[in-house]
Amino acid sequence: MSSVLIQNGTIVNADSTVKADLLIEGAVIKEIRAGIPPSAADKVVDATGLLVLPGGIDAHTHLDMPFGGTTASDDFETGTRAAAIGGTTTIVDFAIQSRGAKMRTALDTWWKKAEGKACIDYGLHMIVTDLPDAGLEDMDEMVREGVASFKLFMAYPGVLMADDATIFKALRQTAKNGAIICMHAENGSVIDVLVRQALAEGKTAPIYHALTRPTRAEAEAVHRAIAMAEMAGVPIYIVHLSSEDALNEVREARDRGLPAFAETCPQYLLLSIDNMTNAGWEGAKYVFTPPLRERGNQAKLWAGLRTDTLQVVSTDHCPFCFADQKAMGKDDFTKIPNGGPGIENRMQLLYHHGVNEGNFSVNRFVQLVSTAPARIFGMYPKKGVLAVGSDADVVLWDPNQEYTISAATHHMRVDYSMFEGFRVRGNARDVYSRGEQIVSAGQFIGKPGRGNYLRREARGGAWK
């Protein structure tokens, strides 16, 4: 069994920062303490001046996903390679149940998509589109397969949207099987009326995607989702929360002691509707749901991360190339495939704008990008922490490396960056996944297909 000693680094966990050495033996962490002798390992790495972090966990990605008449441009190989370069060693992607089909079929399909391709470990949430009473036990079967979470949509009527009865039944089933429901919370019926009206008035440009999805439509759905979870007596996780209005609903619920969790994404923290206003067709680069909001929401979301109203930062990475895929909606914003790229840049952006700009500590950073998603989604302490016995998913993070984000140099298979020209300080230098070095000085050196499917434990969001 090969061993690696990482010496002289600063080991950062969500609850501690210590100067110590870290010994990897095989796929796991064997020892953490100051003064481990070099003779203990086959290879010694000097981490002087570097932070040693648990590998990042991106709990919301869409690789090789069919959507809006096309397929997300990153597959499990290109997407997970880019993730690794950015310091992410685990993703949780989404399998989609087709209407009328079994969840088992979707799971088999997504395993095949990842097979031979995934460069890092991956879990799967199941998107539920069809839930007859007989299908409730299929949820339990999925839980036995390590699918500890399900996503339901309150938006996209006629495509993905679930009605309240379906949502309530799914929530109640998680009381029995311990899984957690991830909710896409937007009032799809209201949005549909606004969209039809806009089109009837000849408003077809990308900006109307954002203007037909008001923050109240998000807040109302968040409120309803949490209320249904409360009635079912289970926790709930709101995905890609984008606005102050919606945030207030989560805060109010948490103040009442409810186990309501929520994530936001870098695009909502750092971009705003200004990126679309006057951008004309270029605005299609920012067509995703929920949409970009007025700039004033950003500070509220940063505050939400500081105060634990928001627990997780994920990417909702769902890339479509501007030249040919976004172009499907050139004359009609509703035909622009919804989604944007970001899997590679999450850690850089959150470190720079979170830690360097004084929004929160480096420990809180680790909590948001690794420990909290590991806990909520049933991967802790295998993932999400540097501890003896945990998987050796380790990032050597250079807090002083400056980097400019650009489509010209990124590794995601997409022809634009939402964060083009953003200058950040702090970047992943070396990355280990289960003890194997997969990134060296920012270059990917791992092998596609080495990533394992993660059987996650259903622990009801680990809130009890």
- Nearer of residues 320 and 380 to ligand URP, judged by Cβ: 320
Q: Examine residue 110 and tell whether it contacts ligand URP (CB under 6 A).
A: no
The count of chain residues that interact with ligand URP, using the rule CB under 6 A, is 9
Site string for ligand URP, 51-90 (x = CB under 6 A): -----------x----------------------------
N- to C-terminal Cα separation, the chain: 38
- Nearer of residues 14 and 412 to ligand URP, judged by Cβ: 412
Q: Examine residue 184 and tell whether it contacts ligand URP (CB under 6 A).
A: yes
- Nearer of residues 138 and 316 to ligand URP, judged by Cβ: 316
345 binds, among ligand URP, Zn ion, none (CB under 5 to 8 A by kind): none
Closest contact distance (angstroms) between CB of 100 and Zn ion is 22
C-alpha to C-alpha distance for 170 and 249, rounded to whole angstroms: 21
121-127 β-sheet, strand order: 56-61, 88-96, 121-127, 149-153, 180-184, 236-238, 260-264, 312-313
288 binds, among Zn ion, ligand URP, none (CB under 5 to 8 A by kind): ligand URP
Question: Which residues, 235 to 294, sit near ligand URP by CB under 6 A?
Answer: 240, 288-289
- Nearer of residues 25 and 218 to Zn ion, judged by Cβ: 218
Give 370's DSSP letter. I
Question: Which residues, 320 to 349, sit near ligand URP by CB under 6 A?
Answer: 338-339
Give the footprint of Zn ion on this chain (CB under 5 A). Answer: 184, 316
What's the sign of the alpha-carbon dihedral 290, 294, 299, 304? negative
Closest contact distance (angstroms) between CB of 290 and ligand URP is 8
339 binds, among ligand URP, Zn ion, none (CB under 5 to 8 A by kind): ligand URP
Closest contact distance (angstroms) between CB of 217 and Zn ion is 13
Give 95-100's long-range contacts (Cβ < 8 A, gap of 24+): 95/124, 95/125, 95/126, 95/127, 95/147, 96/65, 96/66, 96/127, 96/129, 97/126, 97/127, 97/128, 97/129, 97/130, 98/129, 98/130, 99/129, 99/130, 100/130
410 binds, among ligand URP, Zn ion, none (CB under 5 to 8 A by kind): none
If we measure between CA atoms, which residue out of 241, 247, 244 comes closest to residue 263?
A: 241
Output the six-digit token pair for 296.
């004033």
Q: Examine residue 10 and tell whether it contacts ligand URP (CB under 6 A).
A: no
Residues 318 and 62: beta-carbon distance below 8 Å = yes
Give 367's DSSP letter. I
C-alpha to C-alpha distance for 210 and 122, rounded to whole angstroms: 31
Work out the angle between the directed axes of helices 164-177 and 136-144 (0-180°, nearest 10): 40
Closest contact distance (angstroms) between CB of 264 and ligand URP is 12
Residues 86 and 343: beta-carbon distance below 8 Å = yes
338 binds, among ligand URP, Zn ion, none (CB under 5 to 8 A by kind): ligand URP
150 binds, among Zn ion, ligand URP, none (CB under 5 to 8 A by kind): none
The H or E element containing residue 440 is strand 436-440
C-alpha to C-alpha distance for 161 and 296, rounded to whole angstroms: 29
- Nearer of residues 7 and 187 to ligand URP, judged by Cβ: 187
C-alpha to C-alpha distance for 136 and 460, rounded to whole angstroms: 17
Closest contact distance (angstroms) between CB of 288 and Zn ion is 8
What's the sign of the alpha-carbon dihedral 289, 293, 298, 304? negative
Question: Which residues, 352 to 411, sit near ligand URP by CB under 6 A?
Answer: none
Output the six-digit token pair for 144.
């036995």
Q: Residue 48's CB: how many other CB atoms inside 10 A?
A: 8
- Nearer of residues 80 and 338 to ligand URP, judged by Cβ: 338
- Nearer of residues 244 and 316 to Zn ion, judged by Cβ: 316
Closest contact distance (angstroms) between CB of 413 and ligand URP is 16
- Nearer of residues 397 and 419 to Zn ion, judged by Cβ: 419
C-alpha to C-alpha distance for 91 and 114, rounded to whole angstroms: 12
Site string for ligand URP, 414-433 (x = CB under 6 A): --------------------
- Nearer of residues 297 and 314 to Zn ion, judged by Cβ: 314
Site string for ligand URP, 27-46 (x = CB under 6 A): --------------------
- Nearer of residues 166 and 401 to ligand URP, judged by Cβ: 166
Q: Which residues bind ligand URP (CB under 6 A)?
A: 62, 184, 240, 288-289, 316, 318, 338-339
